[in-house]
Structure 1
Amino acid sequence: MSEALVLAETDAGIRTLTLNQPTLRNPISDLPTVDAVVDALHAADQDPEVRVVILTGAGSAFSTGGNLKAMHEGRGPQGATPSETVSNYRRGIQRIPLAFAAIDVPVVAAVNGPAIGAGCDLACMCDVRIAGRSARFAESFVKLGIVPGDGGAWLLRRIVGESKAMELSLTGEIIDAEEAWRLGLVSKVVDDAELMAAARSVAAAIAANPPVAVRLTKRLIRQAQTADLPSLLDASASAQAIAHETQDHAEAITAFIEKRAPVFTGR
């Protein structure tokens, strides 16, 4: 029996998902891997015991994106005709950013090495990014004579701004973890040996909060990427109406008044 393409382990409300093709440096373009990633994200989102997800890669790379060997052998997303290629992208790798957009559970990327091409975009799909010092990032599609077919043109500019996104995308240059931090692409850089502990620390801080409020807050921030202020205020009022009715909200107020640590149940 072949080993799982995505490993899943849950502890204290934190589910760690590990891309598990280390010998290939964790490509995500093949259809079985797409299925595994999408299924793992949906499973985490639907599990009430999961309060936050950590995404990382097995071995020395986070993800080097496309499987170039498969592309070279004619097993990549390119079809016999342009229309077939479009279909392959839609039913293939483009399902991953859509899956990230659909889930409410927060995702922390622990970038443990190169995040190249679609791997860089995968990191951008996550809500928080922590990098080990060996991490490298590149929006490198242009180097292969192709474009970011997985939503990278939408994702990257929202994180680093249009000018820098243009520069990174049009040059395909590789940047190190410190430069990624200076650009705001990652929120923290730590020694490689401390990466998972740092990611778990952030995840634990998220998991300690009321799960419904956490998921609603994430949804509002995502909606704010495309909404105008009046629309976002309407969405905020609706989310707040839900939050006010939760037992966790009442518990938070009571615990504050009683000067004790709250106990949140996700209800």
Structure 2
Amino acid sequence: MNPFLQIERDGGIVTVRMNHPETRNALTSPEQIQEFVDLCAELRRDRSARVMVLTGNGSAFCAGGNVKDMRSREGIFAGSPFELRNTYRDGIQRIPLALYELDIPVIAAVNGPAIGAGLDLACMCDIRLASSSALFAESFVRLGIVPGDGGAWLLPRIIGIPKASLMAFTGDTINAAKALEWGLVEQVCTHETLQAEAHSLAQRIASNPGHALRLCKRLLREGQHMRLDSLLELSAAYQSLAHHTEDHQEAVAAFMDKRKPGYLDR
């Protein structure tokens, strides 16, 4: 089978397309999971990467787990309860740990339905844009299971406990307009303009120094579970590092000279 992730580069912008439209980009195999983990490891080492855009080819963003495999208890759903627990821990749960903790900002361009694990995948990203045809569902309860890949942690932090509870307890689907109203997505675009809008946003992000983007994202992540005084200490440490980069000096010089800066990732 062809690789699940189709990767394109445009300077510091990395566009990643889930490319199994015949399965609506369902997450069905250890190989797919490993592709996500390997990609995040590669981008963490690549100091020239500044922003990632994640989207899907075909009609769906990601349909979540393969229900046919659930019914037959095959693939990643095979084995005893003990084996399944380890399959989750050593399998799909590696995606939120890798993707959510990726140093560079990640934009989800949700081109169609994001269902179950597909919604959780979008929630692992920092910013979400949606096509007007996108749909969202935390649908695990409809299949008699629970969010197994971090959705119970991710979704409430984006839309709040009451709305996350409503989605998780009912399994109901919401459309793009409701997702915008609830703050699940930041912008709704036409299907035709979604990719261009996501790339435009990525360009605005990528125009900033890479070290500042990575440190800023880490502060935002750490701030979700730190006290203010602890975060201020971490901010002071990161700021001292940032002040001693060549790109900071270039940014200040360009601001004073009223010109476009030229960053070297140093």
Same fold (TM over 0.5): yes
- Backbone CA RMSD of aligned residues: 1.1
1:78: which partner in 2? 77
C-alpha displacement of 1:238: 1.1
Say if 1:104 and 1:215, in contact at 8 Å, map to a contact too: yes
Query: 1:29 and 1:186 mapped to 2: Cα distance?
Result: 26
Say if 2:130 and 2:188, in contact at 8 Å, map to a contact too: yes
Say if 1:131 and 1:186, in contact at 8 Å, map to a contact too: yes
Task: Please show how residues 75-224 of structure 1 align to structure 2 within 5 Å.
Answer: 75-224=74-223
1:20: which partner in 2? 19
User: In the alignment, is residue 249 of structure 1 matched against residue 248 of structure 2?
Assistant: yes
C-alpha displacement of 1:81: 2.2
Query: 1:228 and 1:250 mapped to 2: Cα distance?
Result: 31
Say if 1:107 and 1:126, in contact at 8 Å, map to a contact too: yes
1:167 alignment partner AA: L
Same amino acid, percent of matched pairs: 50
Relative to the length of structure 2, the TM-score reads: 0.97
1:225: which partner in 2? 224
Unaligned runs of 5+ in 1: none
Say if 1:17 and 1:40, in contact at 8 Å, map to a contact too: no
SS at match of 1:110: strand
How many pairs are equivalent?
266
Query: 1:67 and 1:207 mapped to 2: Cα distance?
Result: 35
C-alpha displacement of 1:76: 4.1
C-alpha displacement of 1:29: 4.1
Say if 1:30 and 1:67, in contact at 8 Å, map to a contact too: no
Relative to the length of structure 1, the TM-score reads: 0.97
Say if 2:53 and 2:108, in contact at 8 Å, map to a contact too: yes
SS at match of 2:136: strand
Query: 1:227 and 1:20 mapped to 2: Cα distance?
Result: 38
1:260: which partner in 2? 259
Unaligned runs of 5+ in 2: none
- Give CA deviations for 1:5-48 in whole Å, capped at 9, x if unaligned: 11111012111111111000001242111111111222223222
Say if 1:44 and 1:53, in contact at 8 Å, map to a contact too: no
